[in-house]
């Protein structure tokens, strides 16, 4: 549960860099960094590069566990998304994510068009028979969806929360339901100001195992939060901080450079 959670949370955090970049005819490149901690102890670092040229964007990043976490199991991950900047959302055309944890390697590549999933390749290949407790994906689950990276970049055409983000990560379809909790100050290298604090609920839709302990734990959580900073000049909200209680302690992701 720990490393699967770190990997997915790392993917979500990668989206932050885009909020600092305007859509111009020039090519603009930006770097961002994050720290992941468990019970206040460093367990992973995230480094990302975002490139915008005109209306096209590309986000790529790397995740690596800390020396402390490597004692138990070394994890390394990469992610990339390409697409275009729409009027009310980011529209991905390709999403890819891979990570190695110990001796196990997993990868996902997804092709999309106008929010609809065209194809998905996952390695190692999934089992054909999932069992009676498997909730399958329906065709409707892969229409009008967001990839995990682009989903957390929110145009400032309205309030950042409340809203529901329909996310498909190549295997599972879930809604992230954001609720308004207030405003509070936040400072890090490159940013200082008020941020919007949103509660987060996970609502699984398809592509998951019913009764899975880890998913049930996350589904029932009511104390998850994501904090969004707004870049007034560029007109986007993006996350700068997230906290998720787990069975072994609270995990936080915090921007160290924004």
Does pLDDT of 16 surpass 50? no
**Residue 20, Cα to own-chain centre: how many angstroms?**
17
Mean pLDDT of 28-49: 84
- Predicted confidence (pLDDT) per residue in 198-227, tens digit: 999 999 999 988 888 888 888 888 899 999
In the numeric block, the tokens 């400072």 are attached to: 187
Mean pLDDT of 76-105: 87
Question: Where is pLDDT greater, at 153 or 222?
Answer: 222
Rounded Cα distance, 208 and 141, in Å: 12
pLDDT band at 7 (very low <50, low <70, confident <90, very high): very low
Token pair in block for residue 186: 């936040």
The answer, yes or no, to whether the previous bond of 162 is cis (omega within 30 of 0) is yes
pLDDT at 168: 93
% of the chain at pLDDT higher than 90: 34
Question: Where is pLDDT greater, at 72 or 49?
Answer: 49
Pairing of strands 104-113, 116-123: antiparallel
Contact 256, 189 (CB under 8 A): yes
Enter the pTM of the model: 0.84
Rounded Cα distance, 196 and 194, in Å: 7
pLDDT at 214: 81
Does pLDDT of 14 surpass 50? no
CA distances from 189 to 185, 230, 258 (A): 14, 15, 6
Does pLDDT of 135 surpass 50? yes
What does the CA dihedral 15, 16, 20, 22 come to, rounded to 10 degrees?
20
Mean pLDDT of 25-46: 82
Question: Where is pLDDT greater, at 63 or 183?
Answer: 183
pLDDT at 92: 92
For the chain, domain boundaries: 2-257
3-class secondary structure per residue, 224-253:
CEEEEEEECCCCEEEEEEEEEEECCEEEEE
Token pair in block for residue 95: 């999403």
Token pair in block for residue 88: 């009310």
pLDDT at 23: 45
Mean pLDDT of 148-171: 87
Rounded Cα distance, 115 and 103, in Å: 34
């Amino acid at each position: 549960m720990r490393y699967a959670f770190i990997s997915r949370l790392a993917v979500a955090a990668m989206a932050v860099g885009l909020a600092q970049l305007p859509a111009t005819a020039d090519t603009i490149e930006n770097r961002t960094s994050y720290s992941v901690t468990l019970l206040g102890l460093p367990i992973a670092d995230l480094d990302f590069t975002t490139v915008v040229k005109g209306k096209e964007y590309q986000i790529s990043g790397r995740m690596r566990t800390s020396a402390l976490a490597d004692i138990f199991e070394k994890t390394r991950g990469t992610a990339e998304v390409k697409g275009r900047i729409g009027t009310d959302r980011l529209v991905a055309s390709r999403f890819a994510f891979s990570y190695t944890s110990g001796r196990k390697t997993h990868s996902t590549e997804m092709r999309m068009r106008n929010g609809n999933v065209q194809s998905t390749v996952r390695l190692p290949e999934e089992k054909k028979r999932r069992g009676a407790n498997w909730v399958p994906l329906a065709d409707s689950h892969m229409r009008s969806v967001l990839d995990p990276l682009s989903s957390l970049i929110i145009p400032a055409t309205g309030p950042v929360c409340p809203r529901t983000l329909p996310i498909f990560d190549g295997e599972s379809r879930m809604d992230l339901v954001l609720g308004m909790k207030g405003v509070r100050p936040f400072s890090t290298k490159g940013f200082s100001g008020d941020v919007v604090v949103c509660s987060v609920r996970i609502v699984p839709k398809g592509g998951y195992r019913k009764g899975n302990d880890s998913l049930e734990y996350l589904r029932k959580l009511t104390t998850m939060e994501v904090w969004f900073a707004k870049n007034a000049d560029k007109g986007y909200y993006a996350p700068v901080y997230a906290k998720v209680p787990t069975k072994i302690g609270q995990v936080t992701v915090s921007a160290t450079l924004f």
